[in-house]
């Protein structure tokens, strides 16, 4: 089955700095890569996603890049703010039975210091 | 639109007891997922429904866990009998269905086994 590795497990930055979280996946059939933000006591919330036919996608301060050949994708957050502090999860998904099966990474705890 | 609703938010039981969780997905969402999230880890898929049919339940411990989705809307997940290692947050998510559709998560049920 699919295996998703996520690094680092913890990331501490100063407000205004950039943060980068990296993920690798093993199954070349995976073709949809969402990123989720999870705050304490809440469920994961989708923040950005990328499909396999796209190399990069940006939404304001958040961007995601995908390298299908190397099987890795990354989340970039610029101009970090204290409210960005949360746990971030990457996922790799592949189609199955008309839907898709996601596999999540173990998460990165991002701490933004004011 | 209303989000994914889950209840209860918290549950404490003793080992060998039984417990049930309820999920009401976003209206019109065909696909429903149940995840187990152990502290410090990413969500692990337990079972996925497409309408009221099971798409994937390969990681569901079927000797103690069961799930159903009657009429293709609400779903319940049951554990009987519970073990200490079942302590986790149980997340429900839904999506429109089809491939490359984002999931929308509920806030989960935190289960503690004594």
Rounded average pLDDT over B2-19: 96
Query: Could you tell me the pLDDT band of residue B102, with boundaries at 50, 70 and 90?
Result: confident
pLDDT digits (tens, 9 = 90+) for A36-61: 999 999 999 999 999 988 899 999 99
Burial class (CB in 10 A: 0-12, 13-18, 19+), A106: middle
Contacts of A98 in chain B (CB under 8 A): 50, 55, 97-99
**Do B101 and A107 lie within an 8 Å CB cutoff?**
no
**Do A96 and B104 lie within an 8 Å CB cutoff?**
no
Q: Which residues, at least 6 apart from B69, have a Cβ–Cβ distance to it below 8 Å?
A: B32, B49, B51, B52, B75
- Alpha carbons B4 and A28: distance in angstroms, whole number: 31
Rounded average pLDDT over B7-25: 97
Could you tell me if B95 lies within 8 Å of chain A, comparing CB atoms? yes
Q: Which residue shows structure tokens 């497409």?
A: B50
Q: State chain A's mean pLDDT as an integer.
A: 94
pLDDT digits (tens, 9 = 90+) for B61-82: 999 999 999 888 999 999 999 9
Identify the pLDDT of residue B12: 97
Chain B interface, mutation test: which of A54, A100, A108, A109, most B Cβ atoms within 10 Å?
A100
CA distance A10 to chain B (A): 11
Burial call B4-21: b when 16+ CB within 10 Å, e when fewer: bebeeeebebeeeeebeb
Identify the pLDDT of residue A64: 97
Residue B99 has pLDDT above 70, yes or no: no
CA distance A74 to chain B (A): 17
Residue of A41, A89, A102 with shortest CB distance to B45: A102
The two tokens of residue B97 are 């269905």
Identify the pLDDT of residue B71: 84
Identify the pLDDT of residue A54: 81
Query: Could you tell me the pLDDT band of residue B1, with boundaries at 50, 70 and 90?
Result: low
Rounded average pLDDT over B34-52: 93
Task: Kindly report the backbone phi and psi dihedral angles of residue B70, in degrees, each rounded to the nearest multiple of 5, phi listed first.
Answer: -75, 135
Identify the pLDDT of residue A97: 66
Q: What residues pair up with B93 in beta bridges, in sequence order?
A: B33, B105
3-state secondary structure of A101: strand
Rounded average pLDDT over B37-50: 93
CA distance B97 to chain A (A): 6
- Alpha carbons B33 and A100: distance in angstroms, whole number: 11
CB atoms within 10 A of CB A25: 24
Q: Which of B26, B33, B62 is nearest to B50 (CA)?
A: B33
Identify the pLDDT of residue A98: 66
Mind giving me the DSSP string for A33-81?
EEEEEE-TTS--EEEEEEETT-SEEEETTEEEEEETTTTEEEEEE-S--
Residue B14 has pLDDT above 80, yes or no: yes
3-state secondary structure of B32: strand
Q: Which residues, at least 6 apart from B5, have a Cβ–Cβ distance to it below 8 Å?
A: B23, B24, B106
Is the model more confident about B73 or about A95?
Answer: B73
């Amino acid at each position: 089955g699919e295996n998703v590795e996520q690094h680092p497990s913890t990331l501490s930055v100063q407000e205004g700095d950039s943060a980068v979280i990296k993920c690798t996946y093993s199954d070349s059939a995976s073709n949809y890569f969402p990123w989720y933000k999870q705050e304490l006591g809440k469920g994961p919330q989708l923040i950005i996603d990328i499909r396999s036919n796209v190399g990069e996608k940006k939404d304001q301060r958040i961007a995601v890049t995908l390298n299908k050949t190397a099987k890795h994708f990354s989340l970039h957050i610029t101009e970090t703010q204290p409210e960005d502090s949360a746990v971030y999860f990457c996922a790799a998904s592949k189609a199955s039975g008309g839907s898709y099966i996601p596999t999540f990474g173990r998460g990165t705890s991002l701490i933004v210091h004011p | 639109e209303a989000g994914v609703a889950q209840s209860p938010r918290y549950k404490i039981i003793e080992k060998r007891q039984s417990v049930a969780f309820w999920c009401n997905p976003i209206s019109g969402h065909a696909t429903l997922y149940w995840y187990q999230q152990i502290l410090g880890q990413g969500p692990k898929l337990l079972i996925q429904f497409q309408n009221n049919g099971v798409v994937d339940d390969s990681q569901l411990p079927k000797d103690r866990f069961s799930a159903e989705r009657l009429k293709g809307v609400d779903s319940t997940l049951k554990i009987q009998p519970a073990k200490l290692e079942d302590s986790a947050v149980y997340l429900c998510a839904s999506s429109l269905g089809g491939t490359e559709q984002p999931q929308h998560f509920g806030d989960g049920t935190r289960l503690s086994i004594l």
